[in-house]
Amino acid sequence: MLNEWHMGSLLLQLIYNGLVEGAILALTGLGATLVWGIQRVANFAHGDYMTLGAYVAFLLDVTWSTNPVVAAIGTVVATAALAVGLHFILLRPLRGRGLVALSLITVGLGLVLRNALFLVAGSQPRQYAFNQTAVIDLGFVRVAPAELWTGIAAITAVPAVAAMLAWTPLGKTMRAVADNRDLAEISGIDTDGIGLYVWIVAGALAGLGGAMLALVQGTFDPNLGFNVLFLILTVVVLGGIGNAFGALLGGLVLGVVMEVSTWPPFFGGVPTQYQPVVGFVVLILLLMFRPQGILGRARVL
Amino acid sequence: MPVSYAEGGAAIVSDTILSVSDVRARYGDEHILKGVSIDVPRGSIVALLGPNGSGKSTLLKAIYGLNVKRSGTILFRPQGREAVDLLRLKPHEVTAHGVNLVPQLANIFPDLSVYENLEIGSIGDRKRTVERIERVVGVLPLLRHLLRRRAATLSGGQRQTLGIARALMSEPELLILDEPSAGLAPNIVDGVFAQVQEINRRGVSLLIVEQKARQCLAIAHYGYVLDQGRNQIDGPSARLLEDPEMIRLYLGARRRQPESH
Amino acid sequence: MTEHALLVDGIVRRFGGVRAVDGASFTVQDGSITGLIGPNGAGKTTVFNIISGFLRADGGAVTFRGRRLDGFPPHRIAQAGLVRTFQAPRILTRMSVLENLMLGGVKQPGERFALACLLGSASRREREVREEAMAVLDLLRLTHLAPAYAGTLSGGQRKLLELGRALMAAPRLLLLDEPLAGVAPALADQLLDHVGTLRKHRGMTILIIEHDMEAVMSICDWVVAMDQGRVIASGTPRQIQTNERVIASYLGTVAAAHV
Amino acid sequence: MDILNPAFWVFVGVVAGIYGLLALALYVQFSMAGLPNFGHVAFMALAAYTMALLVIRADVALVWAGVAGIAAAVALGLLLGIPSVRLRANYLAIATVAGSEMIRYLSTNLNLTGGAVGSVGMLGPTHFATYTNAWQPFIESITAALRHAVGSVATTDFSMFCLVWVTLGLLLMLFRRLERSPWGRVMKAIREDEEAAASLGKHVEAYKLQALVLGGIVGGLAGILWALEIGVFSPDDFQPTLTFYAYLILILGGMNRVWAIPVGAVLFGVLYSGTRFLSFFPLSLVDTGERAYLRLLIVGLVLVLLMAVRPQGMFGKREELLLEK
């Protein structure tokens, strides 16, 4: 009886944890899906953009002891600037080389960023000054303030971006570029200019997501983002490439599935360290039955 | 400026809106255009004809600067004080100066609604979008009841009409069409050519690449034939339709007539 | 000319809620050239995709020389002698024109892995296929382009190459999807001549989707007209031209008078 | 380590040859059949683990354990491939990455595979497990034979060097022959447009599966040779980055040139191992521990620059890239 009650409460806690994790995946997956859908780049350096965000936040929060809000804004600005800079210096001049070639370039870029961070910041684990022991016990779930902030960030950012895509002129322009780049150009859209906005959104969300991930995890090192890169790409594909709501849904589904799989009544519970394996199994199963992703549209011959 | 027609419908070139001279273009090392010159008189319909691989579509891409390397002279409104050198412009800037193009195949945004397709068309002046949609739907009333539809669900003829409507949204002075009749049923083709004439009546100059040479010359004022990347024959369309050389090489003899005739 | 080469019986195909093909039935006589006409969105290409195995029908049957073929994958259908072309030619851009053609060749033992390990490109059949391909190039007057990358060909040349490649696959029934679309008149005449020759000299049966009514009416023995996923009429070109339903839904009064 | 020491360069040669094999495995899948496998390292890992486990825990003879290892790699190729032959290129890339990450997580966390310490821990922390007992005498006998021929240059590494490069050379000849055969023509056609190939009666799925199997065999072989060369391996030897090294080797030589693979492999070997052991400026600025990071940084930089400046590789033709669509 007591055990059952305990298991029930554990399940709620796991769902909650999954939602927090999923929110981070959704936040970063959103940027990656826009970049993939509109700029035609499967960005294998996306995880490293996140890591960079986490370190910028660390610099602002710990090294320079600024206010957390200032640190968050600084992080977002810094990663957006990085993403935009790399777009102009590296990716834009190489457009039209095909998805695989551009992906390989981002693989190289990721190696450079990640190892540069190892050289500059060292491999020792870092931690924010944020008080991470405080926990709000709501009876059925225990909530850490860091998780609360993460949830709020995801719940506001993802629908905001989705609404932007659906209704604003900029959003419609982005969708037009994703749909038919040449025709968008003929219609008078400066497609390079649009690339700028896409990378601002993607970079900013990656930085924010990176800092959030570092916060929720407690400690982090330069492999922070790379460790979740494949999960993020999974979210993009799960949701349907280029689909903002898909990324939201994909992130939350993946987060919850991975957490809930550890619940003991579920086949004795999957050991925690195998959570990513569960994620990948979900992905492969989904691809077998719905190759275009949850919300993606099937193409016909 | 008014255009007067003499000699069986030929335009007297009093004012040119587009002047292309000695244009060369290539994809990589593949030289497609080897020196082509054409003029589009203001207010006229000019047909650009020729066999496959003659460089017609490449010329359109060269005018717009889409995916080709080009050289030569391409001037928009060459006689005006503000003659525009299109070679210096990116595609979206060409559009901003008053040109628009309807490509042959991918000429709509399939994932967007019809209304959104039109909105994208007037990106240069968003304030007037609603007014422009009213006007364009006035010219192409077929679209009126389709505005909420996703463009991917349209039929071939509807897509072509939407493609043209999208281009008209920028209120171009010169509209360029790449094979507007390709793949369309005969009854739809007639409709598209009728739309072209209607647009021309409202003061828009047109440059049309077509395979249906006879039908196109029937509505055009002037025609150019390209072959192997060079100018071959040109002249007022009425004259081209009767020119024996033109018929032998480019129009094709009328095929066996069905017995009913 | 009395045998059915192809029997399409009540095929249905839905996309989402839309019935793209809604119980279409028609036959293609052995040795005939049959035209399939109809307005855009009538379901012609969908019918083609179903016959050639690229799409699965939701209902109905396709019988080729007495054998049910529906549900077979595309390669099995091609091997059975039913070879198609595509509306937008699907040439292999980074292979040479000659390689494009040689790919079409049938019964190539060297396409099996074990034999390829042993023989590489040195075999009698390979030489034969090369000769066949050169003969087709000759027929299409593309011989000078044999070593060029197919990606450098113009639109019309691509159409010719695709037709040639289909011929290499030794079709008993050739399915041509808008062979004249985007082809200049002079070349179109040439293409039509080829199609006529194929029937006459090789006894090939041909099913052709085409919008060029002049061409359809001059070359076809039999015409099937579709609208909204159904067959609305079939008959000789002359019967079709005067059929009021076809005129109303497709030909249009101007065009009908025209041809 | 002294850069003039020939033993060092022999070792670099062995590593380059093994990576060359991995690149060849990738070649058959990516360059020939157009399957962008981004998780190729899984073939290496699975073959190495299967072999070591069978030798250590089941006492299987090394030869059979090796064959079983390659079979396991092939099985993985099919497992990932059978659903993904139907998927479009983007998705295949992701599915294969997912598959290889699964292998890595499992090998890092299972007790069976020795966890993070790798092969030495396969019998638990109290035993020191090895799988090379049968290998040592074999390679020694080759070395002895070679010593008769070339003298004191012949070391164990030198024997391995010969073994690896002879294998690579034979396979390259085979693949070159295959590529020019009608079989290779069908593969190329599938890479270009699988629907066109199917419309001409080619069984596209069967060919894709053949490419997956061949890639599995060659990739598995690379894994086994790697395991035998280094004697002890851990999950860290099969980082996802390894797949991208193979891509780098392919690009260095030229994506669609099979005989350029050894050139790419040698260049990569020098670049990769060279930066590991050499200590002149600017490498002297960082200490040995950090040099690993610098090395990876340089590999990344080369990958970026190469793709940016000469994407067709050293021997590729640029026009082939332009025709791509």
Q: Using the predicted structure, report yes or no on whether residue B68 has a pLDDT greater than 60.
A: yes
Whether B185 maps to a domain, the answer reads: yes
Residues of D in contact with B27 (CB under 8 A): 322
| Residues forming beta bridges with residue B101, ordered by sequence position | B176
The answer on B190 and B62 residing in a single domain is yes
CA distance B140 to B134: 10
What pLDDT does A197 receive? 92
Structure tokens at B103: 């490509």
Q: How confident is the model at residue D89 (pLDDT cuts 50, 70, 90)?
A: low
Residue bearing the bigger pLDDT, D190 or D285? D190
Q: Using the predicted structure, report yes or no on whether residue C256 has a pLDDT greater than 50.
A: no
Q: How confident is the model at residue D314 (pLDDT cuts 50, 70, 90)?
A: low
Residue bearing the bigger pLDDT, A261 or B38? B38
Cross-chain Cβ contact A301/C49 below 8 Å: yes
Residues of D in contact with A100 (CB under 8 A): 30, 36, 89, 93
Residue in C79, C90, C149 nearest the CB of D196: C90
The alpha carbon of residue B76 is apart from the nearest alpha carbon of chain C, in Å, by: 28
The answer on B93 and B14 residing in a single domain is yes
Structural domain including B154 reads: 108-168
Cross-chain Cβ contact A301/C15 below 8 Å: no
Cis status, amide bond into D282, omega within 30 of 0: yes
Whether B79 maps to a domain, the answer reads: yes
Q: In chain C, which residue ranges form alpha helices assigned H by DSSP?
A: 44-51, 74-79, 97-104, 113-119, 124-139, 155-168, 185-202, 213-219, 237-241, 244-246, 252-258
Cross-chain Cβ contact D91/A237 below 8 Å: yes
Q: Can you tell me whether residue B89 is helix, strand or coil?
A: coil
What percentage of residues in chain C have a pLDDT greater than 90? 45
What pLDDT does B63 receive? 93
The size of chain A, in residues, is 301
The answer on B155 and B226 residing in a single domain is no
Cross-chain Cβ contact C41/B156 below 8 Å: yes
Q: Using the predicted structure, report yes or no on whether residue D302 has a pLDDT greater than 90.
A: no
What pLDDT does B258 receive? 38
Cross-chain Cβ contact D192/C95 below 8 Å: yes
Q: Among residues 66-95 of chain B, which lie with CB inside 8 Å of chain A?
A: 66-67, 90-92, 95
The answer on B122 and B32 residing in a single domain is no
A40-44: average pLDDT: 87
Q: How confident is the model at residue A299 (pLDDT cuts 50, 70, 90)?
A: very low
The answer on B74 and B176 residing in a single domain is yes
| Neighbouring subunits of B (3+ Cβ pairs under 8 A) | A, C, D
What pLDDT does D281 receive? 59
CB C100 within 8 A of CB C92: yes
C96-112: average pLDDT: 91
The answer on B185 and B92 residing in a single domain is yes
Q: How confident is the model at residue D315 (pLDDT cuts 50, 70, 90)?
A: low
Total domain count for chain B? 2
Structure tokens at B120: 């994208």
Residues of D in contact with C52 (CB under 8 A): 199
Tabulate helix, strand, coil % of chain C (nearest 5): 45, 25, 30
Quote ipTM for the complex.
Answer: 0.78
What pLDDT does D284 receive? 65
What pLDDT does D4 receive? 65
Which one of A187, A191, A192, A299 makes the best mutation probe of the B interface by having the most chain B beta carbons within 10 Å?
A: A187
Handedness of CA A271, A276, A277, A283 (dihedral sign): positive
Q: Using the predicted structure, report yes or no on whether residue B36 has a pLDDT greater than 80.
A: yes
Where a domain ends, among B168, B193, B213? B168
| Neighbouring subunits of D (3+ Cβ pairs under 8 A) | A, B, C
Least confidently predicted of B25-34, C7-16, C69-78 = B25-34
CA distance C242 to C235: 10
Token pair 């077929």 is found at B142
Q: What is the dihedral of CA D82, D85, D86, D90, to 10 degrees?
A: 120
B17-35: average pLDDT: 86
CATH number of domain containing B181: 3.40.50.300
Residue C218 carries which side chain, given as an amino acid letter? S
Q: Using the predicted structure, report yes or no on whether residue D86 has a pLDDT greater than 80.
A: no
Cross-chain Cβ contact C54/A301 below 8 Å: yes
Q: Using the predicted structure, report yes or no on whether residue A301 has a pLDDT greater than 60.
A: no
CA distance D44 to D50: 10
Distances, alpha carbon C258 to alpha carbons A188, B171, B219, in Å: 40, 34, 16
The answer on B69 and B184 residing in a single domain is yes
Q: How confident is the model at residue A222 (pLDDT cuts 50, 70, 90)?
A: very high
What is the secondary structure of A114-165 as a DSSP string? HHHHHHHH-SS-EE-SS--S--EE-SS-EE-HHHHHHHHHHHHHHHHHHHHH
What pLDDT does D317 receive? 63
The answer on B157 and B55 residing in a single domain is no
CB D298 within 8 A of CB A112: no
The answer on B212 and B162 residing in a single domain is no
The alpha carbon of residue A55 is apart from the nearest alpha carbon of chain B, in Å, by: 39
CA distance B70 to B73: 9
Q: What is the pLDDT of residues D45-57, one digit of tens each?
A: 999 999 999 999 8
Query: How wide is the angle at C-alpha A234 spanned by C-alphas A229 and A240, nearest 5°?
Result: 130
CB A56 within 8 A of CB A75: yes
The answer on B82 and B178 residing in a single domain is yes
Q: Using the predicted structure, report yes or no on whether residue D196 has a pLDDT greater than 50.
A: yes
What pLDDT does C259 receive? 44
What pLDDT does B223 receive? 95
Where a domain ends, among B137, B168, B199? B168
Q: What is the pLDDT of residues A102-135, one digit of tens each?
A: 888 898 999 999 999 999 988 888 888 766 666 7
Residue in B108, B112, B124 nearest the CB of A188: B124
Whether B8 maps to a domain, the answer reads: yes
Residues of B in contact with C249 (CB under 8 A): 187
Q: Using the predicted structure, report yes or no on whether residue D21 has a pLDDT greater than 80.
A: yes
Whether B51 maps to a domain, the answer reads: yes
Cross-chain Cβ contact D319/B29 below 8 Å: yes
Least confidently predicted of A234-238, C103-107, D285-289 = D285-289
The answer on B185 and B65 residing in a single domain is yes
Whether B147 maps to a domain, the answer reads: yes
Structure tokens at B191: 């409709």
What is the secondary structure of D134-196 as a DSSP string? THHHHHHHHHHHHHHHHGGG--HHHHHHHHHHHHHHHHHHHHHHHHHSHHHHHHHHHHH-HHH
Structure tokens at A204: 């900013």
Q: What is the pLDDT of residues B156-177, one digit of tens each?
A: 788 889 999 999 999 999 999 9
Q: What is the pLDDT of residues B69-110, one digit of tens each?
A: 899 999 999 887 778 899 989 999 999 999 999 998 789 998
Greatest mean pLDDT among A130-134, A177-181, A261-265, C35-39 lies in: C35-39
Residue bearing the bigger pLDDT, D16 or A8? D16
Which one of B31, B52, B192 makes the best mutation probe of the C interface by having the most chain C beta carbons within 10 Å?
A: B52
Where a domain ends, among B130, B151, B168? B168
Residues of A in contact with C15 (CB under 8 A): 300
D282-298: average pLDDT: 74
Which one of D185, D187, D321 makes the best mutation probe of the C interface by having the most chain C beta carbons within 10 Å?
A: D185
CA distance B131 to B125: 11
What percentage of residues in chain A have a pLDDT greater than 70? 92
Q: Using the predicted structure, report yes or no on whether residue B254 has a pLDDT greater than 60.
A: no
Whether B235 maps to a domain, the answer reads: yes
- Closest C-alpha among C39, C140, C38 to residue C91: C140
| Neighbouring subunits of A (3+ Cβ pairs under 8 A) | B, C, D
Q: How confident is the model at residue B259 (pLDDT cuts 50, 70, 90)?
A: very low
What pLDDT does B8 receive? 39
The alpha carbon of residue D256 is apart from the nearest alpha carbon of chain C, in Å, by: 11
Q: Using the predicted structure, report yes or no on whether residue B2 has a pLDDT greater than 80.
A: no
Structure tokens at B38: 């054409």
Whether B256 maps to a domain, the answer reads: no
The answer on B136 and B7 residing in a single domain is no
**Partner B contacted by D325 (CB < 8 A):** no
Whether B93 maps to a domain, the answer reads: yes
The alpha carbon of residue A294 is apart from the nearest alpha carbon of chain C, in Å, by: 16
Cross-chain Cβ contact B109/A188 below 8 Å: no
Q: How confident is the model at residue A220 (pLDDT cuts 50, 70, 90)?
A: very high
CA distance D93 to D76: 15
**Partner D contacted by C104 (CB < 8 A):** yes
What pLDDT does D316 receive? 63
